[in-house]
């Protein structure tokens, strides 16, 4: 079962392996460049575009599969501020000044993505209708505390939605009010990533697909990067491989966990969509193990959720997510699932992106799982600015460095944490629904 995103894009002519003169041909021969970027997802491509916009176009991007193959082309398509780490925890760790600095980078990235969509005419089904945080629990204080935190510390107004207001948009009894983040949008992430690739290709940056890196080593003041059929000599190397990078640069790979998440898309619902979702906004809820979903322009519902340490077959994903959908919208009981897929996100133990430069000089941008599109764009801008000599990466990111993730043990711990938090959410919801004794 193909992902909805792959089923609805047109890749550059000739970009598939085996065709003559592919647009993104595999690397062949020996080349010298200023910057070599490993990873053709949004992090690597955003860094390349940021460099090109700063006049640095002697750049090569190497992708082991195809552009947007990883999490950048499989995610829920939400574009909003923040990181996977909760804003309250960001405040606790960094203090108000540095926490606000890092948060503002993400809202600036949301605006930058809007500008790039317009500037490069990227047709990516952008829906500028905001995002709703829906309260799963009958605890109004959850939303009020979040609203005040965002307003007082981060300078962001999230608009309260009463239970009645939310019910007029989301036809379900599962939610107890919500918060509306107006400065957010949702889109087709793979179309956007391919649009960014086209924009950087137009500047002279070269992209090589089907070019897995088989070796990376220092040589003098630079690096040598090897693929099966080619060699790159580069002054700078950026590691942006995400959850799919293996055996390329262990210093970074040891610091992230490849965590799976799942997404599906229903059949087109036509007018019936408004019987369940009568808003153009995207939605997620207040549980640790939350659902996230949005209406698509062709009246499908795109629905995602769950976290796991293992990938599942599309048929299993469809069954799981359909069950989750019907818990919220039982009126869609007879709706067919037409696409279901999974993908690996890169998570750090501290739940923050890892952006910076290692001791041996390799730049890195990984760890965007859970809240990825804006922070991933942030990473590209920060690394581009640093490599171009414009400004260094903010010191606050050093607080979230390449912390070892402990491989299989880390994955087991992540699964236990997810299961425990999921159980906590279930128990909390049941307790709130239980009748009060007389």
Q: Of the candidates 338, 4, 348, 378, which has an alpha carbon nearest to the alpha carbon of residue 189?
A: 4
Q: Using CA atoms, how far apart are residues 260 and 86, in angstroms rounded to an integer?
A: 20
Q: Which domains does the chain have, with CATH numbers?
A: 1-8+22-126+186-256+348-405 (3.50.50.60), 131-182+261-343+406-438 (3.30.9.10)
Tokens found for residue 325 = 């959908």
**CA-based nearest residue to 310, from 263, 241, 262:** 262
Backbone angles phi, psi at 104, to 5 degrees: -60, -30
CA distances from 27 to 212, 259, 364 (A): 9, 29, 22
Residue-wise burial string across 31-64, b where 16 or more C-beta atoms lie within 10 A, e elsewhere:
bebbbbbbbbbbbbbbbbbbbbbeebbebbbbbb
Instruction: Match 């997510």 to its residue by tokens.
Output: 321
In terms of phi and psi (left: phi > 0; alpha: psi -120 to 50; beta: otherwise), the region of 55 is left
CA nearest to 366, candidates 252, 266, 275: 252
The contacts of residue 224 (CB under 8 Å, 6+ apart) are: 215, 216, 217, 218, 231, 232, 233, 234
Q: Is 433 exposed, middle or buried (0-12, 13-18, 19+ CB in 10 A)?
A: exposed
Distance between CA 149 and CA 70 in Å, rounded? 33
CA 28 to CA 231: how far, in whole Å?
7
Q: What is the pLDDT of residue 244?
A: 81
Helix locations, 203-271, DSSP H = 250-253
Are 219 and 233 in contact by the 8 Å Cβ rule? The answer is yes
Instruction: Report the pLDDT value the prediction gives residue 437, as an integer from 0 to 100.
Output: 42
**Distance (Å, whole) CA 272 – CA 135:** 24
Q: CA 80 to CA 32: how far, in whole Å?
A: 38
Structural element, H or E, at residue 295: strand 292-295
CA distance 180 to 159: 5
Residue spans of beta strands (DSSP E) within 175-270: 178-181, 185-186, 206-208, 215-219, 222-227, 230-239, 257-266
What's the chain's Rg over C-alpha atoms?
Answer: 22
Place of tokens 């408004």: 274
* Whole-number Cα distances in Å, 285 to 81, 135, 292: 16, 6, 7
Whole-angstrom CA distances from 62 to 49, 58, 218, 240, 355 are 14, 14, 18, 10, 19
CB 108 within 8 Å of CB 333: no
Q: Are the C-beta atoms of residues 295 and 301 closer than 8 Å to each other?
A: yes
Mean pLDDT of each 10-residue bin along the chain, 438 residues long? 92 58 89 97 97 96 96 95 95 96 97 98 98 95 96 97 96 96 97 98 96 95 96 97 84 85 96 98 92 97 84 91 97 97 87 93 91 92 97 94 66 56 67 51
């Amino acid at each position: 079962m193909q992902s909805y995103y792959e089923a609805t894009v047109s890749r550059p002519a000739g970009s598939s392996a085996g065709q003559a003169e592919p647009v993104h041909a595999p690397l062949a021969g020996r080349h010298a460049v200023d910057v070599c970027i490993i990873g053709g997802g949004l992090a690597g491509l955003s860094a390349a575009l940021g460099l090109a916009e700063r006049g640095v176009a002697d750049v090569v991007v190497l992708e082991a599969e195809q552009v947007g193959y990883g999490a950048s082309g499989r995610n829920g398509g939400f574009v909003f501020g923040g990181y996977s780490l909760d804003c309250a925890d960001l405040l606790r760790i960094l203090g108000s000044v540095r926490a606000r600095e890092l948060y503002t980078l993400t809202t600036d990235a949301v605006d930058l993505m809007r500008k790039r969509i317009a500037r490069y005419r990227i047709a990516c089904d952008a829906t500028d209708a905001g995002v709703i945080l829906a309260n799963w629990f009958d605890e109004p204080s959850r939303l009020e505390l979040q609203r005040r935190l965002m307003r007082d510390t981060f300078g962001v107004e999230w608009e309260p939605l009463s239970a009645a207001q939310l019910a007029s948009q989301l036809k379900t009894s599962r939610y107890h009010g919500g918060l509306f983040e107006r400065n957010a949008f949702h889109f087709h992430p793979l179309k956007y990533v391919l649009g960014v690739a086209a924009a950087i290709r137009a500047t002279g940056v070269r992209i090589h697909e089907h070019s897995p890196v088989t070796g990376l080593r220092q040589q003098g003041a630079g690096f040598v990067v090897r693929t099966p059929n080619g060699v790159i000599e580069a002054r700078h190397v950026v590691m942006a491989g995400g959850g799919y990078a293996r055996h390329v640069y262990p210093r970074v790979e040891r610091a992230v966990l490849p965590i799976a998440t799942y997404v599906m898309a229903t059949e087109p619902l036509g007018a019936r969509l408004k019987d369940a979702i009568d808003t153009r906004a995207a939605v997620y809820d207040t549980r640790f193990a939350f659902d996230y979903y949005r209406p698509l322009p062709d009246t499908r519902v795109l629905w995602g959720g769950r976290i796991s340490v293992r990938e599942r077959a599309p048929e299993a994903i469809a069954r799981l997510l359909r069950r989750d959908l019907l818990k919220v919208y039982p009126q869609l009981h007879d709706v067919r699932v037409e696409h279901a897929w999974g993908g690996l996100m890169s998570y750090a133990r501290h739940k923050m992106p890892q952006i910076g430069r290692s001791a041996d000089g390799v730049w890195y941008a990984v760890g965007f799982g859970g809240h990825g599109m804006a922070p991933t764009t942030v990473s590209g801008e920060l690394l581009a600015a640093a490599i171009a000599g414009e400004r260094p990466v903010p010191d606050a990111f050093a607080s979230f460095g390449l912390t070892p993730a402990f491989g299989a043990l880390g994955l087991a711990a992540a699964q236990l944490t997810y299961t425990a938090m999921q159980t906590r959410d279930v128990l909390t919801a049941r307790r709130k629904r239980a009748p009060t004794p007389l």
